[in-house]
Structure 1
Amino acid sequence: FIARLIFKHRHDIIPRFKAIYTLSTAALLSLGCSLFFFYHGIQAYLNNRRIPFDGNVDAFEPFNQNTNLFYDNYLIVILYIVIQALLSFKLYKHFYFKLFAIFMIMSIGAHFLPFVDQLFNGFSAPQKRWHYLIAFNAAMLMGLYAKYFSTLTIKNYIFSSIVSLGFVFVSAWVYDTYVSWLWFTPIVSLVGLLVLCVKASIYRNKLSYFYYIAIMILATLVADVFIRNQIYFEDHVERANNDYVNASLFNTPLQHQLVSQMNYSKSEDERIDWRVNEQDNTPMYQFFKGTSIYSSIFDHNILDYYYDALKINLQSESVSRYQSTNGRQNINSLFSIKYLMLKDYQDNVPAYFKKVESKGQYQIYENTLNLPSVKVTNHLYDAQKLKTPIDREHAMLDGVIINDKGKSYTDNANNLKNSTDISSKNIDFRDNNQIYLPQSNGSIQIHVPSDLRERYTDFYLTLKIRRGQPDSNYTININNYANQRLYNNSTYKTGVETQLYRTQPDENGNINITLSPNGNYHFKILSLHGENYNKLKRAFKLQQNNHYKDIKNGVKMTLAPHQKGIATVNIPFRDSMIAYVDHKKVKPIKVNYMMTGIPVSENDSNIVIKYRPKYWFTMITISAICIVISVFWCLIKKFKFK
């Protein structure tokens, strides 16, 4: 639009000011018509948690096989005809040809600027998410080139053909990769040359259709090779079929049978911890309340809880997901996770889960200290005064955590780090918590005294680790629990360097930390806490029989006898929730960092929580009004034009 305002066509009949006024009005009305969807999409984006990318970004992309737009790369392949069109200087006298030639040159230049990739990826890591614009500009330029093709001189056509064909053949030679469509390009150029050799313009125009057909055949061949090489390569072919979908890596009848069995044996508000290998969305397609999801956008409170408040370790680091609880018993009970299902080679089982069934390669464990999904308590603790994940777990078991309210939690866990002996092997310690591993078998050993091992069931080890040079993916292995971490410049890195690991000493009383591969790391042991689960056992004995059931667009619960306090429900809090306590409207609050809390008195017995996106009816009303205005505006414009 800006380009068309600057470069006016000789046949333009609308003055610049009127064009701006008309399209600005249309744009505002369009925004109003779509506001019902658009506003909530923006809200979802703003409520997401996306770690700012702090990796190194080069000023320019290197020119190689992956960035060569005109040969066999992984992203997009533009026909060599585009190069011919750009070199056909005679055609620049045509307004739209020149316009799209400029756009094409700008697109090619932008393709080699990582900043543009960041711009189209929300100013995050460089990602190629905008190349449909290159495809659009190339398609328009080739269409206009075909339109004016018959007016080209033979000399200019031969020059542009030699340059463009030379470019793709040199690319094939340099990359040592030959694709089948390469041998058809000289035929296309030859067909074009033969057409231009016809003197009579009337015959030349008719014979041009043979050139168009040749280009279409070439485009089909390029698309076929691209699909075969870049989409349906061996791994994709193996997985793009019914056999894979019904395999143990994704979805099987046995999995469905076991999930149905667990669903039947638990209450509606209890959860199941089960995911198929790396399929974080298993709960969605196997239909159960689970503990994992993968999505580009979901509410930030969940990730705040995982990354910051409780430091739940994700075994395979990646943004836009949460998964399981790293075997932490307190969290499992707080979220009413009744069953855990693992494959037989997996063993990260929480302390008080007992095996109840084994079928095929699957093991099912039941939580023997599970807590109800709803709890009423008058013990309020201030979130700002809790400093460690284990104290936060204990405070949630003893009461409820609220932002800037309540009292200080005083029963804090002791840091046992100074009560242990720490030694290392094949590690060179340097200043400022920097270490160097000359070999991949370097390790740090924490020896836990026998009196501590007898007192505590589990230990929570908090480490701060960042990969140095050479930058690469790396693994933190703690007593055979392997945590896969991403390299510093990775697009999918979470940016959370402080990690908490639930572990137990081995038979010799040691917690062994190994890092691989070799190289430099920033490494610091922050704390070691012990957990004997006495607070969980106490909460289990004092539990109230409070549960919720799903209703349309919300949940409903009936409370057992209780005191005045906060009813805590272990579902994620959203700003636009509405609660009705015995039919009286009450505003829910965020508690326990991500859960939902409702103030109740001792006489309240029923709670209904409903959710409706913010400004729901307001946006519907605005969109409806704008649709009516748009219809009348278009009719008025049409009448004036006639």
Structure 2
Amino acid sequence: MKKTALLFVISSIAISLAAHLFFLFEWAHGRYMTGNGDGLAQMVVFKSFLFDQYKQGNFFYSYAFGLGGGIYSQLGYYFTTSFVFLASFAAVLLLQFFHLAGNADPLFWANAAVFISAVKLGLIILTASYAFLYMVKNRASAFTGAVLYGTSVIYFRHTVFWEFFSDSMLWLPLLVAGAEKIIREKRPGLFIIACSLTLFNNFYFAYINLIFIAIYVVFRWFIHLDDREASKWEQFRMFFASGLISFGISAVSFVPAVYGFLNNLRPPYDQPVPLYDFTDDILFSSRIILLPAAFVLFLFVFSFYQNKTFRLFAGISLLLGLLHFSPLAASAFNGFSAPQNRFEYLLAFTIGGAAAAGLSGIKSIRRKEIAWSCLFTVLVYIAVIFREDLDLSLLRNWSSLVLLFLTMGAFIAAGLRYRKSLLVLHGCLLASAVFVANTYEKYVLSESSEIKSVSKSYLTSNDYDGEEQRELLENIKKDDGGDPYTRIDWMNGVRNNTPMIQKFNGFSAYSSILNKNLLLFYWTDLEVDMGRESVSRYATMGGRANLYSLLYGKYYMREKENASDVPYGFEKTDESKHYIVFKNNYTLPFIRTANTVYSEKDLDNAPVLAKEHAMLKGIVLENPGEKAKPPTSSDLMGQTKLKMKGASYENGVLNVTSESGGIDLIPPDNVPKEGDYYVTLYLKSLAKDQFFNLKVNDYVTSRKSNKSIYKTGVYNLTIRVPKAEKVSIRLPKGKYKLDNLKLYQEDYQTLKQASAKKAPDARMNWKQNKLLIQYQNNNGGRYMVLPVPFEKGWEVTVNGKKQTVQKANYAFIGFSIDKGKNDIQLAYYPPYFKETLAVTVIGLAAGIWYSRRRKKLGS
């Protein structure tokens, strides 16, 4: 057994390294195995960020995550509880201890990606080999089937673009093996372990894996593989109890992560989802799943279906194959949201299982079956070639045919029982899997998806993380006296996670799960335009000086060619060859107190400018007791002249007939010249599929197509522009719904008055998830408000008494304070963390007890 285990380990590592040969060669030439989209924007960034946080002992909250947020729940979709990442963290920490690794920045993680992937793939092949060996009792067949699973193209697609996606492939074989242990041996221990691991690791892929296990168990109820299997009722009881215990064990991770997901804001997908779409070619060119030629051959060996294990895996494969062509199924596996083909690794697993079962029984097939199998397979390939009108001069197409005929030759030889022909077939399948993996890496990932552009030179350039930018950021920190809470508005291009890359407190974040309150703050409450419509992101303050001051935004950094539209009150303090830095003259204190209280409800229909003034003058709460009359702002449209430019406007529809046309607003002459205009409008393209830019004077913002799955569904916009003789609204040729056009002017007198007030006499210390404030409340302020986002998990005590943390100023923290001395402690824990930690401990105890009990009953 030890020799067998060692052989499997060595073979798994060898195949994994062979399957990564292309990316290992790329690594040797300074190019990396990570995507130039989310790979560089999220994967390496979050790993670098979390490594730093965990190394500091900070596991729950970070002020540097966007505008501040709970990293345990909001990044739970990514790496916070990923066992692969946690193992990587431990390994890198050990290397750093022995001075064998330097700073674990994004460049480091990009460098390490291919090695982490090689280890992970080796483990996937190993776990799949264990599961298949349990079922087919043939080592070579089990290993070959595991290789077909592990090296499937979806593994490399997932790993390159969204690295944590492929972690789920590690737990799936263990879940199946655990299910088989329950069905055959009435022993739930492995299933509890595997189910707990997948639930703890990632709630999203746990959802997909558990759907698969439910399908698998239903198939098993109809296809019995062992005469001593437990009855359906007994199986149901064990699966139910084991699942319940697993949810308990994983509760400390699963519940906060799911809460974060539910507290996210994602518009419902409103496009029609078709039942089927057969356009993907899974024999030659699919980017998601490619059927191995051996699997197609085996499907037409009808005697194989007498083998119940083959029948099981082939049947599930056919079902999953049909579901691959169904956008509706893709939507269901994505939580009934936009269709996403992320579940096909399940199909890769069942294909591997079918191959393992077929290989174990190939010696029993008849010659006639070999002929029919080859004939039907060739006909299928010919039909696809003609249907798709394939260009057979392309490498990926003719190489698929070469692999087909090589596999077919080895299959015929094995079926005819030539000496060592079965060994040749195994070798052919392993070599084919490695060849397909490397070919896919080169032509589909590296060249077609531009992964080859991800290099050391790019990651150290000004396009990503340049020395020139870092020097200016260091200058800012020196100029600011080392204030650890200062926020800087700087984002490198459209990389919203630039602050995490360059290690400063910023105004932007890009994550699939974000604080719902912040997104509402941007989208609807304050209508802050980000310069780019997109879900899962927020950025900047739309150039609105009031908001920068309220959120402790002291600095504004831009490329020189994009530095014309600087927020009011910011003046130049530094510059380099390509960049320029401005400093806010009206920054408000981090800790602010308020006596005047306004109601959110009273401000519901007020202009966003009135809401800004309310936050500057006092505090805005959801359910205040006593409340003041809210500020007002006058709409200037009644005094404003409208002129059409290359467009007509009738019944709320703007028809732009020139390449760039729209409306000019000519404000009245009696408006103060200093300050800004706020232009408010409802804008929606009437085209079915049109991405477009809205330009208001020099300000440009992009809007998604109506068909985009990343559109926000928000059409009420507020654009801030510096005061000028006219406000020009420009759009590309087309028709638009344009309504509720309003114009407000801001002279910033309210901001100047707020910034002129004396800062509260307070001392603050923030360490990890706890914020301590000492404040002498001599002015009789009723509330304290902080530029820290409100979310479930914050607790506050004032002078030893627990207070309620309130949502203040639409998305931030506020709470009552006492007169005189205030000793304040704010602490953040993930939602329901303490309760779920207790459930996890109970679940572990229950799991140990139940597994031992079933083991005794079974023996």
**Alignment map for 1:52-451 (pairs within 5 Å):** 52-61=268-277, 63-64=278-279, 67-150=280-363, 151-152=365-366, 153-167=369-383, 169-170=385-386, 173-174=389-390, 177-179=394-396, 181-182=399-400, 183-196=402-415, 198=416, 201=417, 203=418, 206-233=420-447, 236-266=450-480, 267-347=483-563, 348-386=565-603, 387-405=606-624, 406-431=626-651, 433-451=652-670
Candidates 759, 762, 775, aligned match of 1:544: 759
- The structural deviation recorded for 1:525 is 4.3
Q: Which moved more, 1:73-82 or 1:327-336?
A: 73-82
- The structural deviation recorded for 1:354 is 0.2
Q: State the Cα deviation string for residues 395-420 of structure 1 (Å, max 9, x = none).
A: 00011001132425343000111211
Q: What's 2:713 paired with?
A: 495
The residue type paired with residue 747 of structure 2 is N
- The structural deviation recorded for 1:374 is 1.2
State the distance in 1 between where 2:359 and 2:735 align: 58
Q: What's 2:130 paired with?
A: none
Contact 1:83 1:160 in 2 (8 A): no
- The structural deviation recorded for 1:636 is 2.1
Candidates 514, 520, 535, aligned match of 2:735: 520
State the distance in 2 between where 1:576 and 1:604 align: 26
Contact 1:239 1:245 in 2 (8 A): no
Give secondary structure in 1 for the equivalent of 2:427: helix
State the distance in 1 between where 2:305 and 2:630 align: 78
Give secondary structure in 2 for the equivalent of 1:105: helix
The residue type paired with residue 145 of structure 1 is G
Quickly say closer, same or farther: Cα 1:16–1:57, change in 2 above 3 A: closer
Q: What's 2:124 paired with?
A: none
Q: Which moved more, 1:481-490 or 1:549-558?
A: 549-558
- The structural deviation recorded for 1:337 is 0.6
Q: Which moved more, 1:494-503 or 1:208-217?
A: 208-217
- The structural deviation recorded for 1:234 is 6.4
Contact 1:460 1:530 in 2 (8 A): yes
Contact 1:157 1:193 in 2 (8 A): no
State the distance in 1 between where 2:479 and 2:853 align: 65
State the distance in 1 between where 2:308 and 2:668 align: 82
Contact 1:269 1:547 in 2 (8 A): no
Q: What's 2:204 paired with?
A: none
Q: RMSD in angstroms over aligned alpha carbons?
A: 2.1
- The structural deviation recorded for 1:169 is 4.3
Are 1:458 and 2:672 counterparts? no
- The structural deviation recorded for 1:86 is 2.5
The residue type paired with residue 744 of structure 2 is H
- The structural deviation recorded for 1:10 is 5.3
Give secondary structure in 2 for the equivalent of 1:174: coil
Contact 1:487 1:493 in 2 (8 A): yes
Candidates 765, 774, 782, aligned match of 1:565: 782
The residue type paired with residue 553 of structure 2 is I
Candidates 217, 220, 223, aligned match of 1:7: 223
State the distance in 2 between where 1:5 and 1:328 align: 63
Contact 1:579 1:607 in 2 (8 A): yes
- The structural deviation recorded for 1:327 is 0.7
State the distance in 1 between where 2:655 and 2:358 align: 60
Contact 2:293 2:407 in 1 (8 A): no
Give secondary structure in 1 for the equivalent of 2:273: coil
- The structural deviation recorded for 1:539 is 0.5
The residue type paired with residue 344 of structure 2 is H
- The structural deviation recorded for 1:297 is 0.7
- The structural deviation recorded for 1:640 is 2.4
Candidates 506, 519, 529, aligned match of 2:744: 529
The residue type paired with residue 124 of structure 1 is S
- The structural deviation recorded for 1:581 is 1.9
- The structural deviation recorded for 1:172 is 7.0
- The structural deviation recorded for 1:365 is 0.3
Give secondary structure in 2 for the equivalent of 1:633: helix
Larger radius of gyration, structure 1 or 2?
1
The residue type paired with residue 188 of structure 1 is T
Q: State the Cα deviation string for residues 412-459 of structure 1 (Å, max 9, x = none).
A: 00011121111213324454x23333332222111122222x355101
State the distance in 2 between where 1:388 and 1:471 align: 31
Contact 2:688 2:705 in 1 (8 A): no
Give secondary structure in 2 for the equivalent of 1:407: coil
Contact 2:489 2:540 in 1 (8 A): yes
Quickly say closer, same or farther: Cα 1:238–1:587, change in 2 above 3 A: same
State the distance in 2 between where 1:32 and 1:13 align: 27
Q: Which moved more, 1:542-551 or 1:118-127?
A: 542-551
Give secondary structure in 2 for the equivalent of 1:233: helix
Quickly say closer, same or farther: Cα 1:481–1:389, change in 2 above 3 A: same
Contact 1:415 1:529 in 2 (8 A): yes
Give secondary structure in 2 for the equivalent of 1:357: strand
State the distance in 2 between where 1:565 and 1:631 align: 52
Q: State the Cα deviation string for residues 236-291 of structure 1 (Å, max 9, x = none).
A: 34432211111101112232222222223332222111111112111112222111
State the distance in 2 between where 1:258 and 1:613 align: 35
Candidates 836, 850, 856, aligned match of 1:619: 836
Give secondary structure in 2 for the equivalent of 1:571: strand
Q: State the Cα deviation string for residues 589-628 of structure 1 (Å, max 9, x = none).
A: 1110111112112213332211122332221122112212
TM-score of the two chains, using structure 1 as the length reference: 0.93
Contact 1:185 1:218 in 2 (8 A): no
Quickly say closer, same or farther: Cα 1:234–1:85, change in 2 above 3 A: closer
Contact 1:76 1:131 in 2 (8 A): yes
The residue type paired with residue 262 of structure 1 is I
State the distance in 1 between where 2:476 and 2:254 align: 39
Are 1:18 and 2:238 counterparts? no
Contact 2:691 2:705 in 1 (8 A): yes
> Which one has a larger percent helix, Structure 1 or Structure 2?
2
Q: Which has the higher contact order (CA 8 A, sep 6+)?
A: 2
Give secondary structure in 1 for the equivalent of 2:658: coil
- The structural deviation recorded for 1:363 is 0.5
**Unmatched 5+ residue regions in structure 1?**
none
- The structural deviation recorded for 1:173 is 4.2
Are 1:587 and 2:804 counterparts? yes
